[in-house]
Amino acid sequence: PKTVFSGIQPTGIPHLGNYLGALANWVKLQNGASPDDRLLYSIVGWHALTLPQDPKALRAARWEMLASLLATGLDPRRSIIFHQDHNPNHTELAWILNCLCPIGKLKRMTTWKAKLAASRNANDESEVDESLLNAGLFTYPVLQAADILAYRATHVPVGEDQQQHLELARDIADSFNRAFPKPKKIFPLPQHMIPPSKRILSLRDPSSKMSKSSPDVQSRILLTDEFAQIQAKFRSAVTDSQLGVTFDPVNRPGVSNIVTILATCTDKSSEMVAELYTSKGHAQLKMDTAEAVESLLRQPREEFKRLKSETGYLEEIAKEGARRAREISEGTMTLVRSQIGLAQST
């Protein structure tokens, strides 16, 4: 049987990239799972703290994310849905794994390199403003490894952008197994499950991915957007001045991103969609894509509106999810503590 684990940060309402790159796939996995497979989906609040968060906004975002996960079709009877910060086993294991992870490996993470690049002194490229970088940002991938390994997960469905972090989690699992092999190797090496859809790009700046934390709200379609907002955002999406539609992500990233979105929503290949639109205008492509997105998001949006105010129900789901998650991770931690010599051998 499989143990599937994945997480999402409570940093805002999920966007179309999160939906196509992660959430829709989580639901598909859940609905195709066999009865003895285990599925865990976590709202990773500790990861969110690596960037400054307003406490009131964070509190709201945690509940909104839980409502979003349920609205997209995750079913608490089949999946364990929980807040990471309700299970201290994650941070306990993260500390132990930090002590096994060479800093050289963390320095090679592209996410870390991007943060470093962003904090370079504008006048002197070799100078990094270290006051902009906290230790949590550096060890973020170790906490992610702990999230996965605490449940001895075998499969991790996350976007392409997370591949390097997953490789690190495999490396850390292997290091632990080698360092503490007795009486048994505890961790399976988790496999990356890349969703069929590719990275969705920002509608305003197709050189970066669609992201919850971009300051430009026009750059992303939210799960809660009404049809009129979806249409307006596609209308103002950045394309190019070339006539017609082709799928050419390198030279025409804006148009190609919209083609990818329409293709993913309609279960076609990007090449096939581009062919259908060769002689049509950008406006037509944008409006048809808005409609395809609307038909995908309408139901989750309505369900989100209904669930948002059901605070008692959401609290119950979170509590039960945390209880079930802890029950599993305690089993792992009992073995871990014992094998590394922190607790009585059982």
Contacts with ligand AQP by CB under 6 A lie at 8-9, 11, 17-18, 21-22, 158-159, 161-162, 199-200, 209-213
Give the Cα separation of 27 and 234 in Å (integer): 26
Choose, from 115, 198, 233, 286, the residue flagged as catalytic.
115
Among the listed residues 40, 32, 59, the one whose alpha carbon sits nearest the alpha carbon of residue 48: 59
Nearest residue by C-beta to ligand AQP? Answer: 21
In the complex, what is the shortest distance from the CB of residue 203 to ligand AQP, in angstroms, rounded to a whole number?
A: 11
Place of tokens 């995908």: 296
Whether 268 is catalytic is: no
In the complex, what is the shortest distance from the CB of residue 84 to ligand AQP, in angstroms, rounded to a whole number?
A: 11
| Identity of the residue, 156 or 335, whose beta carbon is nearer to ligand AQP in the bound complex | 156
Choose, from 28, 107, 198, 212, the residue flagged as catalytic.
212
The DSSP line for 193-255 is E--SS-PPBPSS-TTSB--TT-S-GGG--BTT--HHHHHHHHHT----SSSS----TTT-HHH
Whether 185 is catalytic is: no
In the complex, what is the shortest distance from the CB of residue 328 to ligand AQP, in angstroms, rounded to a whole number?
A: 21
In the complex, what is the shortest distance from the CB of residue 337 to ligand AQP, in angstroms, rounded to a whole number?
A: 28
Choose, from 56, 198, 209, 268, the residue flagged as catalytic.
209
Tokens standing for residue 327: 């029950």
Amino acid identity of residue 204, one-letter, is R
CB neighbour list of residue 260: distance below 8 Å, 6 or more residues apart: 197, 198, 200, 247, 249, 270
| Identity of the residue, 22 or 109, whose beta carbon is nearer to ligand AQP in the bound complex | 22
| Identity of the residue, 80 or 158, whose beta carbon is nearer to ligand AQP in the bound complex | 158
The secondary element (H helix, E strand) that includes residue 7 is: strand 3-8
| Identity of the residue, 144 or 339, whose beta carbon is nearer to ligand AQP in the bound complex | 144
In the complex, what is the shortest distance from the CB of residue 115 to ligand AQP, in angstroms, rounded to a whole number?
A: 11
Distance between the two ends of the chain, CA-based, in angstroms? 26
Whether 182 is catalytic is: no
Residues annotated as part of the active site:
115, 209, 212
